Amino acid sequence: MNGPSVQSEIQEVNLAYLMLAQRMLREDRETAMFRLGVSADVAELLLGLSSAQLVTLASNQMLVPRLRFDDKQILGLLAGSGRDGATSRLHAAILATARSSDSRV
């Protein structure tokens, strides 16, 4: 991996993600929190970030977004593995929702 190139790409991904997250949270906070996999506290923090703070956070050397699903089954279903791609994605959404609910209890 070419260090400077990868770093600039990480910064671009981070900034795009953070800007999208803010827009989603402004438009429909509850749905955005579910889709982003963030708590109310994190959502509030994201909404309160200024443009300068977004750029500072985006310039981090680590990716801000992360794969939300570390479960091989869910990731495979989301990728369309199985007999029917649409049904697989629906099944993955049901499993993800159930696991999200379990982790909030």
pTM over 0.75: no
43 and 81 co-located in one domain: no
- The answer to whether 92 and 78 are in contact (CB under 8 A) is yes
**Any idea what the Cα angle at residue 63 is, between residues 85 and 48, rounded to 5°?**
100
The pLDDT of residue 100 is 59
- In a structure prediction context, what are the per-residue pLDDT tens digits for the chain, which is 105 residues long? 566 789 999 999 999 999 999 999 999 999 999 889 899 999 999 999 999 999 999 998 899 998 776 677 777 777 776 666 667 666 666 766 666 555 544
The pLDDT of residue 105 is 40
40 and 6 co-located in one domain: yes
Domain count, the chain: 2
Which residue range(s) make up the domain with 33?
1-66
- The answer to whether 36 and 21 are in contact (CB under 8 A) is yes
- The answer to whether 32 and 24 are in contact (CB under 8 A) is yes
Single-letter code of the amino acid located at 97: T
